[in-house]
């Protein structure tokens, strides 16, 4: 790090001008900020200035040195490059150019552990490193995304107002608030994406059932999804599903969805959510199943062999024809709602577990408020979730690792949700039973139902698992009637001893 660097006047520098960086830079400029631009290859910078230079004040730069020199102090450099090693590469180049007090912002989908490492390293140099989750895709980045900043709270003083200004707003409130120290911002974004995966998968399962059991073609389904968007399912993902299903393929004249290869891609955030869920001991099965569903879809060769070698019985599966089509559609809608609710409950539960693991002060009500608009999972439901967690209060910072007072231990315990899910339960069971009988895979519908049933079961077969563990590994068990740990002498006289 050098001192006495050149000082410029630009409010913020953006390096990495692909889809997200370019649109965020334009968003800052449209909101009156002077934005210095940089991209590894100059062409993207030139293109942005040529096509959108009139939208605000941009300073095009050729190198990171030039970018840094163009910035007012404290310097704010926003990195929006491919997640992983490229972020480290850019940081390494930036460090010698910056001064203590400057702020480096990583707004990509970085892994929260990388963010924790980077923040600690930059703090040693007197630099603020802020990991920021951004959601909303291309359109959100331009018109107002949901923004989830972590990092040192102090840095939010210099950065927060700018981020809040460019973020989406809901009921006049910015979908941006400081969420917690070090990697918390990226963690919250990761969980957002985990929920996104589950939400997309349950919509996919509903589509599959409506088509294969209900015999409803995509064009008609588009109308059904449009109608569902007027119910408690109202959300961006339902809205775009209707549009995708309505889309005709120009080449064939049939539904576009029928010519799209059925292999779902993934860049990693869903997988990270599932892994972290396992790490922090949060049962995020619905989210994990949605990741596995993408993985299974992306094994075309195995699926091809399976279609031939495991064909026995496929034809004999009798898809039970729904007696009443309208009732079936409504059953699927309710199953979709209940499964989606479980995915959100699992995601929020995981945030609470992570707060404990990493000593973060996460306020679940405020986090839910950030997702009400601008992001991919934006939905009417998020307003209700926010209220169930005590509403939005950006000054409410629970003791690290704890929940704010009065917040439900599980979202499903909030009265509005416990009642909604109880009402959906008969339909949910009918749909899962129908799917299983018809041979239509519904991994998230069924896993979410198993979670719900498991959560409220009087007794779980975990008792037997403990017995088995004690048998083969002397792992001991606790008893329902006495304190202490016990072991049965399985290979001797099978008497019980206190461990
Ligand atoms: N696309 C989306 O909808 C969303 C993306 N994100 C996240 O935002 C970030 C940016 O995404 P997106 O805009 O799609 O762009 P990409 O993830 O496709 O990354 C492309 C950008 O990274 C730059 N880059 C790649 N490697 C390096 C390197 N070693 N050094 C310097 N620059 C490098 C490229 O420069 P060059 O032009 O020279 O190749 C280009 O500007 C990612 O972390 C992504 O996960 C977050 C929310 C939504
Ligand atoms: O962060 C995002 C949306 O919130 C990005 O669009 C991300 O790429 C989505 O994840 P994936 O590509 O794995 O489906």
The whole-number pLDDT of residue 5 equals 63
What mean pLDDT is predicted for residues 275-288?
Answer: 98
Give the position, in ligand 1's atom list, of the atom nearest the Cα of 136. 48
Mean pLDDT across the chain: 96
Could you report the per-residue pLDDT of 25-41, keeping only the tens digit for each? 999 999 999 999 999 99
**Dihedral sign, Cα of residue 401, residue 406, residue 410, residue 411:** negative
DSSP 130: E
% of the chain beyond a pLDDT of 70: 98
Answer whether 364's CB lies under 8 Å from 181's CB: no
The whole-number pLDDT of residue 319 equals 64
Residue nearest to atom 7 of ligand 1 (CA): 108
What mean pLDDT is predicted for residues 232-238?
Answer: 98
* Distance (Å, whole) CA 266 – CA 117: 24
16 is in an annotated binding site: yes
Residue with tokens 């109880």: 422
**ipTM attached to this prediction:** 0.98
Could you report the per-residue pLDDT of 456-499, keeping only the tens digit for each? 999 999 999 999 999 999 999 999 999 999 999 999 999 999 99
What mean pLDDT is predicted for residues 14-25?
Answer: 98
Check whether 58 has a pLDDT greater than 90.
yes
Q: Smallest Cα–Cα separation from 330: which of 242, 246, 431?
A: 431
Check whether 404 has a pLDDT greater than 90.
no
Grade residue 316 by pLDDT with cuts at 50, 70 and 90: low
State the CB neighbour count (10 A cutoff) for residue 290: 31
**118, 123, 127, 131: CA torsion to nearest 10:** 40
CA 192 to chain centre: 2
Burial of 488 (0-12, 13-18, 19+ CB in 10 A): middle
Could you report the per-residue pLDDT of 375-390, keeping only the tens digit for each? 999 999 999 999 999 9
Ligand found nearest the CA of 200: 2
Q: Smallest Cα–Cα separation from 226: which of 245, 202, 198?
A: 245
Grade residue 322 by pLDDT with cuts at 50, 70 and 90: confident
Give the position, in ligand 1's atom list, of the atom nearest the Cα of 41. 38
What mean pLDDT is predicted for residues 173-177?
Answer: 98
Q: Which domains does the chain have, with CATH numbers?
A: 12-182 (3.40.50.720), 189-455 (1.10.1040.10), 462-498 (1.20.5.320)
Grade residue 302 by pLDDT with cuts at 50, 70 and 90: very high
Compute φ and ψ for 276, nearest 5 degrees. -65, -35
Structure tokens at 398: 């629970």
What pTM value is reported for the model? Answer: 0.96
Tell me, in angstroms, the distance from the centre of ligand 2 to residue 416's CA. 30
Answer whether 70's CB lies under 8 Å from 59's CB: yes
The whole-number pLDDT of residue 403 equals 85
Answer whether 205's CB lies under 8 Å from 442's CB: yes
Check whether 317 has a pLDDT greater than 80.
no
Strands 485-488 and 12-15: unpaired
Is the minimum distance from the CB of 135 to ligand 2 under 6 angstroms? yes
What mean pLDDT is predicted for residues 49-76?
Answer: 98
Ligand found nearest the CA of 83: 1
Q: Vertex 374, ends 346 and 207: CA angle to 5°?
A: 60
Check whether 4 has a pLDDT greater than 90.
no
Tell me, in angstroms, the distance from the centre of ligand 1 to residue 365's CA. 31
* Distance (Å, whole) CA 475 – CA 414: 36
Tell me, in angstroms, the distance from the centre of ligand 1 to residue 108's CA. 7
Q: Smallest Cα–Cα separation from 393: which of 407, 373, 380?
A: 407
Answer whether 291's CB lies under 8 Å from 274's CB: yes
81 is in an annotated binding site: yes
Could you report the per-residue pLDDT of 417-437, keeping only the tens digit for each? 999 999 999 999 999 999 999
Burial 443-453 (b: 16+ CB within 10 A, else e): bbbbbbbebbe
Q: Which residues are catalytic?
A: 189, 196
The whole-number pLDDT of residue 257 equals 98
Answer whether 289's CB lies under 8 Å from 201's CB: yes
**54, 56, 62, 65: CA torsion to nearest 10:** 170
% of the chain beyond a pLDDT of 90: 94
């Amino acid at each position: 790090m050098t001192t006495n660097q050149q000082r410029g006047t630009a409010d913020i520098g953006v390096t990495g001008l692909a889809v997200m960086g370019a649109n965020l830079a334009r968003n800052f400029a449209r909101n009156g900020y002077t934005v210095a631009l940089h991209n590894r290859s100059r062409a993207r910078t030139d293109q942005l200035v040529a096509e959108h230079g009139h939208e605000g004040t941009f300073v095009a730069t050729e190198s990171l040195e030039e970018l840094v020199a163009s910035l007012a102090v404290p310097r704010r450099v926003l990195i929006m490059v491919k997640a992983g090693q490229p972020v480290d590469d850019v940081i390494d180049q930036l460090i010698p150019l910056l001064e203590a007090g400057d702020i480096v912002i990583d707004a990509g989908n970085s892994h929260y552990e990388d963010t924790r490492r980077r923040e600690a390293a930059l703090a040693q140099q007197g630099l603020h490193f802020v990991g920021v989750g951004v959601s909303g895709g291309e359109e959100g980045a331009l018109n107002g995304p949901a923004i989830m900043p972590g990092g040192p709270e102090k840095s939010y003083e210099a950065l927060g107002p700018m981020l809040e200004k460019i973020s989406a707003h809901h009921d006049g409130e910015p979908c941006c608030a400081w969420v917690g120290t070090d990697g918390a911002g990226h963690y919250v974004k990761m969980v957002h994406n985990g929920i996104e995966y589950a939400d997309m998968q349950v919509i996919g399962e509903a589509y599959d059932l409506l088509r294969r059991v209900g015999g409803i073609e995509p064009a008609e389904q588009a109308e059904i999804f449009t109608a569902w968007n007027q119910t408690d399912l109202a959300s961006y993902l339902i809205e775009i599903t209707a549009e995708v299903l309505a889309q005709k393929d120009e080449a064939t004249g049939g539904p576009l969805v029928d010519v799209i290869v059925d292999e779902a891609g993934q860049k990693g955030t869903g997988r990270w959510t599932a892994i972290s869920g396992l790490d922090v001991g949060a049962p995020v099965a619905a989210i994990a199943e949605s990741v596995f569903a993408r993985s299974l879809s992306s094994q075309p060769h195995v699926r091809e062999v399976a279609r031939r070698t495991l064909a026995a019985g496929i034809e004999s599966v009798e898809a039970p024809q729904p007696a009443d089509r309208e009732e079936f559609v409504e059953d699927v809608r309710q199953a979709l709602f209940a499964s989606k609710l479980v995915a959100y409950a699992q995601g929020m539960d995981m945030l609470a577990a992570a707060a404990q693991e990493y000593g973060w002060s996460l306020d679940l009500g405020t986090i839910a408020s950030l997702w009400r608009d601008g992001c991919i999972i934006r939905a009417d439901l998020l307003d209700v979730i926010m209220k169930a967690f005590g509403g939005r209060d950006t000054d409410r910072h629970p003791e690290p690792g704890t929940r704010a007072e009065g917040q439900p231990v599980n979202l499903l315990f909030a009265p509005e949700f416990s009642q909604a899910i109880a009402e959906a339960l008969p339909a949910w069971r009918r749909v899962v039973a129908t799917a299983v009988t018809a041979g239509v895979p519904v991994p998230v519908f069924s896993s979410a139902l198993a979670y719900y049933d498991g959560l409220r079961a009087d007794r779980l077969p975990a008792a037997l698992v403990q017995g088995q563990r004690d048998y083969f590994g002397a792992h001991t068990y606790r008893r329902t009637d006495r304190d202490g740990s016990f072991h049965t002498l399985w290979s001797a006289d099978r008497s019980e001893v206190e461990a």
